[in-house]
Amino acid sequence: MSLPENSSWKTRLVEREFPDRSFDIEFWQEQEDEAIFAAAWEMVELAEEINHGQKTNTTKNCYNS
């Protein structure tokens, strides 16, 4: 997956404690719907590859048996 031209990196460093969710919440609220969907779909593809050893078949209708 390629990065959009206007993308930028956002990082944080946490030392000696478990991080809270504020960084994650702020990050995702700054993203547009398309970026959120693309990230979610990438996780679906990764889970499919890990669990079944294959990439997701996007042409198959999920209602077909």
pLDDT of residue 58: 63
pLDDT of residue 32: 92
Domain chopping of the chain, boundaries: 22-52
pTM above 0.85, yes or no: no
Query: Mind giving me the DSSP string for 7-20?
Result: ---------SS---
* Alpha-carbon span 15 to 2, nearest angstrom: 31
Number of C-beta neighbours around residue 43 at 10 A = 9
**Rounded to the nearest 5°, which phi and psi values hold at 29?**
-70, -25
Two tokens, residue 25 = 């919440």
- pLDDT block averages, 10 residues each, the chain of length 65: 68 90 93 93 92 71 54
Contact in structure between 11 and 24 (CB atoms under 8 Å):
no
